[in-house]
Every structure is written in structure tokens, then in C-alpha cells.
Structure 1
Amino acid sequence: MSTFGRGRRRGARSEEPPATGDAAQEADADPEQVARAIALRMLTAAPRSRAQLAEAMARRDVPEAVAERVLDRFADVGLVDDAEYAGMVVRTRHAERGLSRRALGTELRRRGIDDETAAVALEQVDDEDEEQAARALVRKKLRTTTGLDPQVRTRRTYAALARKGYPPALVGRVLREELAAEGIDAEEDGDLLGGG
């Protein structure tokens, strides 16, 4: 039998520990190597917060002290930076999805960003930015509901912007202005803006 046909026997150990997968969790796998492999795999796919990486390591039973040591090293070399990550999340989610500061803050907390770091990142979006985004979303929603009853359009617009975290007062003001631009007087139309 040739060496080509032999292959590795089932259950035989390879020379290097596996980077990921169930085999990485063998009893004799080095927890630090497992932690590094988890972090590198996740960071290769997309930027992550320190808390997200720590959570993934905990799910794989990496000891907390080992995870902290690996994450500290990754932070030292700039691979993990919660401030940079939070800023990127705020910029992209606001620009691409039109999320309000409130919704962005919620998303940052969900991703494990502390309040102080989140507050600094959220400074990128000021009142004017938020109003411009709300106005763009209102215009888009009104375009897609043209021909429907004004009350239906109003309800749908309020609901769409509420899901993105915009305060009702801002939505009401922008909606009134955009309806007026279409020749619809929300004030004369009775209960049109009275709670959506």
C-alpha cells in the first residue's frame, strides 16, 4: 500500500492544534491558542467589540483570565479598539440605515460598548444630522405611500421612524413640513398628526 493511500487514521492527532471547531476544545488544547483562534476568526469576518470577543471565548469555555490576557494583547497591537469600533458602528448605521442616536446607543450597548465610549462615538451625530436623516426617511416613506389615505401614510411614517428610534416630536414636525410641501395641511386635516 502506498503512503498516498494510507492517509491519517481516524482519531489520529495532527501535529498542530486545530484553530477552530470542536477539536479545538479537546482537553489538552491550549486555551490561549483557542482564544487567539476565536478572536482572529471573528475579526477576519468583521470588526468586533472586546465584549463580543470575550463572549465568544466564554461560550467555548476559555478561562476568563486567559481571554483577558489575549484580548489585552490584541488591544495593545490595535486589533481590538472599542472606541474605533463604536465610531464605525455609529457612522455606518446612521449613514446606511438612518438610525437615530437613541437607536445607535441601544445597538452599541447590545454590542458590549460601555456608556462612556458610546457617548463619545454618538457625538458624531448632532441634532442637524439627526433631523436630516429623519427628513430623508419621511420623504422616502411618503413617496412609497403616495395615493393612500393621509392618515394611513402618517401612521406608517410614524411607525417606520419609531423603529429607527426617532422621537415623536421630531417626526411630527418633519412630517407636517413634508406633507405641507405636498399641499396637505395636516393641521386642517383634523387628527392627522394627533398621535399617528
Structure 2
Amino acid sequence: MTRRTDWAEYAHLDALAERAGGQDVGPARTADDTGYEGGEPRRGGGARDGARTGGTRGGRGRRRRGFGEPPGEPSAEDGGASSSSRAEQGEPPGDPVERARAICLRLLTGTPRTRKQLADALRKREIPDDAAEEVLSRFEEVGLINDSAFADAWVESRHHGRGLARRALAQELRTKGVDSALIEEAVAQLDSDQEEATARELVARKLRTTRGLDRDKRLRRLAGMLARKGYPEGMALRVVRQALEEEGEETDFLDEGGI
């Protein structure tokens, strides 16, 4: 992978939310809007470059909150619309823009969301389209919504955490409403060599659990596991066959008294 996106920037929701409300930033974008000050990125910045450089690059061990499993879609409470539930959730009554802003902030506090996920939540809460568009555009401007950074982080986390290949990752991002061009750019972080290396690791971990089965059944089971994770059929079969052959060679070596 080429980069990590630091989702700790979402800890600064309150400060960004104040700007999202238009209290201290005019229509033109300023250094505060983009998250840059003196040429250096700050956490909470909305620009794509800020999202890339604001994070860390590292090994596979780190997991990003909210990406080990698909972040939940807006809960059942986000589909309701009673005045009592609005009060309980801290939503301001009346003004649809303020309601939309409160709903989005609450959802973003838990995990990053795409613009479409937030738009769907606002639609379920019967927020008027013009109010929803105003809030979503403002949040996107100040960096609270960043589908490009979301896609990058999703690919990295789900590939390293679950071993998903490009095809499966692209499908997941499509279901979350990410634009096709952004999906293509995000999954391009993975190349065929990296995919194959991950496929080999997955097979190596699963190989032992299939011992005792006949070779054809093991082949089907292991190749099926890779197929469900989005690996191409040709690659899956090649990786599994090679793993079974290497296992057989190792067994023969041990049977012959090797160390």
C-alpha cells in the first residue's frame, strides 16, 4: 500500500463543525477550510493532499477504527422522525439545516461516512433536499466528508485486515456510493503482485484446516475462499495448487527423515 489516512482527524469535529455552520468562514475557502497553515497540513483538513499526508504509512499491523468491518449504515433511529426522538438525540427542532447538521455530526462522530451514506440518512429523516444539499456541500468543503480519503482508507484496511482483493473492494465501495473514478484510483493502490502475495498468505493460514480431505476437495475449498474475497479464478487456482504441491514436497521430505 502507498499510504494511510489518519482518521484521528475526526476527533476535531467540533472545531470543523463550527466552520461548517458558517460562523467564521466566508464563501471563499481559506487556510482554515483546507486544513493548511504555512504550507503544512493540519488534522481536520479537507483537501485530498492533506488527507494523504496527514496520516502515516506503515505495516499491516495497524487497523483503522471503523474499517475492520464495514461501518454500519445509519441505525434505525436515523430513519425515524418523531419530535421526542429528535430531542433525545440533541437535534434542534424546526430548522432543517440545523437538523441536518446535527444528524451528520452525530453519524460522523462514530465513523467516517461517504456523502451518499449521509445523504441517505438525511432522506430517511425527511430533511428537505435543499437543506441536505447545503449541509453536505459545506461539510465536503471543510473536509468532514471526503469520499476520496474514505476510499483510500477502506482499501487499505479491508485488504490488510480481511485480505480482500480489488474486485471485492470495488464492489463494497460501490455499495457505499463512492464515485467510480475514485474507486478506480483507490483500488489501483493494489497491484497483481501484492494481491497474489496476500492470496498466498490466506491459503497458508487456511491450509492446515483442510488436511484430511482429498486433494480435489481441498483445492475447491481453498480456491472458493479466495474467490469469495474477490481474487480472479486463474490466480486462485494457481496459488492453491502451488501451496498443495509445496505441502506435499515438505511431507515427503519429512517422511524421508529430513530435518
Task: Judge same fold: TM > 0.5, yes or no.
Answer: yes
Match of residue 74 from structure 1: 139
Matched, 1:22 2:90: no
- What is the rounded CA distance, in whole Å, between the counterparts of 1:138 and 1:29 in structure 2? 56
Q: Does 1:128 align with 2:193?
A: yes
Q: Any runs of at least 4 consecutive aligned residues in structure 1 with deviations exceeding 6 A, and if so which?
A: none
Structure-1 residue corresponding to 2:247: 182
Tell me if the contact between 2:151 and 2:178 (Cα under 8 Å) persists in the aligned partners: yes
Q: Which residue of 1 aligns with 2:158?
A: 93
Letter in 2 for 1:66: A
CA-based RMSD: 1.8
Partner of 1:142: 207
Residue of structure 2 in register with 1:39 after alignment: 104
**Do 2:219 and 2:237's aligned partners in 1 also have CA atoms closer than 8 Å?**
no
Q: CA deviation at 1:22?
A: 2.8
8 Å Cα contact 2:219-2:241 kept in structure 1 = no
CA distance in 1, matches of 2:101, 2:169: 29
CA–CA distance in structure 2, aligned partners of residues 74 and 117 of structure 1: 18
Q: For each residue in 1:5-51, what CA deviation from the matched residue of structure 2 results, as whole angstroms up to 9, or x when unmatched?
A: xxxxxxxxxxxxxxx8732399x621111111111111111000001
Which AA in structure 2 matches 1:133? Answer: T
Gaps of 5+ in 2: 1-77, 250-259
> Partners of 1:143 and 1:68 in 2: how far apart?
53
Structure showing greater radius of gyration is 1
Letter in 1 for 2:247: E
- How many residues align? The count is 164
TM-score by length of 2: 0.60
Percent of aligned pairs sharing the same letter: 48
Return the alpha-carbon distance in structure 2 between the equivalents of residues 114 and 59 of structure 1.
22
Which AA in structure 2 matches 1:22?
S
For the pair 1:53 / 2:113, whether they are aligned, the reply is: no
Deviations 1:91-122 (A, max 9, x none): 00001000010000000000100100111111
User: What whole-Å deviation, never above 9, does each CA across 1:138-162 have from its counterpart, x for those lacking one?
Assistant: 1122122122222221111122111
Higher-RCO chain (CA-CA 8 Å, sequence separation at least 6): 2
After superposition, where does 1:108-119 map in structure 2 within 5 Å? 108-119=173-184
Q: Which residue of 2 is the match for residue 65 of structure 1?
A: 130
* Secondary structure of residue in 1 paired with 2:94: coil
SS in structure 2 at match of 1:172: helix
